[in-house]
Amino acid sequence: MTGRRGGRRLVPAYLSTNGTARPSRPQLERLSLLTTSGTPVPPGLPAAQLALLDALREGSLTVVEAAALLELPVSAVRVLAGDLLDQDLVLARAPVPVAERFDPDLLKRVADGLRALKQH
């Protein structure tokens, strides 16, 4: 699979980064948590990157929440956030790692949290 068939783009044209390679870091997950770094925003940032930065101004968002808010595909936000990460304009924190998701302490906190919800 080439990832692109029949000339159809994986991301909208306006998001494509002049055909440059994708970021070298591991792919952002749906639940990777994005936060602005506080680094001053350089002039000339593409509008789509600015829009994502703007969305993060009021607080942190996961990749999937940013996608919903900006009405963009998750794949597009992954690319945008990756570009902003490369410029140190955002920070990303990974969700609970796959290998740790069945950790008994974590599961107990989920269960206790749900029970507490019912008591309110």
Q: Does residue number 110 form part of the binding site for another protein (CB under 8 A)? A: yes
88 binds another protein (CB under 8 A): no
Round to the nearest angstrom and report the end-to-end CA distance of the chain.
51
Contacts of 12 by beta carbon, 8 Å cutoff, 6+ apart: 72, 76
Asked if residue 26 binds another protein (CB under 8 A), the reply is no
Report if residue 18 touches another protein, rule: CB under 8 A.
Answer: no
The answer to whether residue 22 forms part of the interface with another protein (CB under 8 A) is no
Tokens of 56: 């993060």
Interface with another protein includes 65 (CB under 8 A)?
Answer: yes
3-class DSSP state of 90: strand
Of the two residues 2 and 24, which places its CB atom closer to another protein in the complex? 2
Contact between 77 and 52 under an 8 Å Cβ cutoff? The reply is: yes
> What are the residues whose beta carbons fall under 8 Å from the beta carbon of 60, sequence distance 6 or more?
33, 34, 35
Q: Is 13 in the site for another protein (CB under 8 A)?
A: no
User: Taking CB under 8 A as the rule, does residue 95 contact another protein?
Assistant: yes
Q: Where on the chain is the footprint of another protein (CB under 8 A)? A: 1, 5-6, 8, 29-31, 33, 58-62, 64-65, 67-69, 71, 73-75, 95-99, 101-102, 104, 106-118, 120
